[in-house]
Amino acid sequence: MPQLLLELFSEEIPARMQAQAARDLERMAREKLAAEGLLPEALTAFAGPRRLTLVAEGLAAAQAERHEERKGPRIGSPEQAIDGFLRSTGLSRDQLIERDGLYFAHLHKPGRQTAAIVAEMFDAIVRSFPWPKSMVSGVSKLRWVRPLQRILCVFDGEVVPFEVDGHVSSDLTEGHRFMGTGQAFHVRNFDDYADGLAKNFVVLDPEERKERIRDAARTLCFARNFELVEDEGLLDEVAGLTEWPTPVMGDMDPAFLELPPEVIRTSMRVHQRFFAVRDPLTGFLVPHFIAVANIEAADGGKLIATGNARVLTARLADARFFWQEDRKVRLEDRLQKLKGVTFHAKLGTMYERVERITALAGQLAAYTGASPEQVRKAARLCKSDLGTGMVGEFPELQGIMGGYYADKEGLAPEIIEAIRWHYKPQGPADDVPVQPVAATLALADKLDTLVRFFGIDEKPTGSRDPFALRRAALGVIRILLAGRVRLPLKIVASDDLISFFADRLKVLLREQGQRHDLVDAVFAQGDDDIVRIVSKVNALEGFLGTEDGKNLLAGYKRAVNILKAEEKKGALATGELNSSAPGEEGALTNAVGHMEVEVEKALEKDDYEAAMQALAALREPVDAFFDKVLVNSDVPTERENRLRLLMKVRDAMGRVADFSLVTG
Residues that bind another protein (CB under 8 A): 11-12, 14-16, 49, 133-141, 145-147, 149, 163, 165-168, 177-179, 241-242, 272-274, 291, 293-295, 297-299, 303-304, 306-308, 310-314, 317-318, 321, 340-342
Minimum distance between the CB of residue 317 and another protein, rounded to whole angstroms?
8
Q: In the complex with another protein, which residue's Cβ is closer, 273 or 550?
A: 273
Residue with Cβ nearer another protein (11 or 98): 11
> Shortest distance, CB of residue 146 to another protein, whole angstroms?
7
Q: Which is nearer to another protein, 57 or 352 (CB)?
A: 352
**Cβ proximity to another protein, 189 vs 267, nearer residue:** 267
CB of 272 or CB of 514, closer to another protein: 272
E strands in 213-308? 227-228, 246-251, 275-278, 285-293
Rounded least distance, CB 108 to another protein, Å: 33
What is the rounded CA–CA span in Å between residue 396 and residue 333? 22
Smallest separation, CB 615 to another protein (Å): 59
- Whether cis (ω within 30° of 0) applies to the bond prior to 161 is no
Q: Is 619 left (phi over 0), alpha (psi -120 to 50) or beta?
A: alpha
When the beta carbons of 35 and 135 are compared against another protein, the nearer one is: 135
Tell the smallest beta-carbon distance from residue 125 to another protein (Å).
20
CA atoms within 13 A on the CB side of 87: 6
Rounding to the nearest 10 degrees, give the CA dihedral for residues 624, 627, 629, 634. Answer: 170
Q: Identify the CA nearest to 646 among candidates 566, 582, 569.
A: 566
Contacts 24+ apart (CB under 8 A), 553-557: 553/659, 553/662, 555/619, 555/622, 555/623, 555/626, 555/649, 556/622, 556/649, 556/650, 556/653, 556/659, 557/659, 557/660
- Give me the least distance between CB of 179 and another protein, in Å please: 8
Q: Which is nearer to another protein, 127 or 564 (CB)?
A: 127
Report the candidate in 198, 146, 131 with the shortest Cα–Cα distance to residue 9: 146
Nearest Cα to Cα of residue 351 among 363, 359, 340, 360:
340
CA gap 664, 654 in Å, rounded = 17
Distance of closest approach, residue 454 Cβ to another protein, in angstroms: 25
Residue 137's alpha-carbon distances to 10, 83, 142, 173, in angstroms, are 12, 50, 8, 21
Residue 228: CB minimum distance to another protein, A: 18
Pick from 17, 50, 304: nearest CA to 197? 50
Nearer to another protein, 141 or 568 (CB): 141
CA distance 134 to 127: 11
Whichever of 30 and 271 has its CB closer to another protein, that residue is 271
Q: Tell the smallest beta-carbon distance from residue 139 to another protein (Å).
A: 4
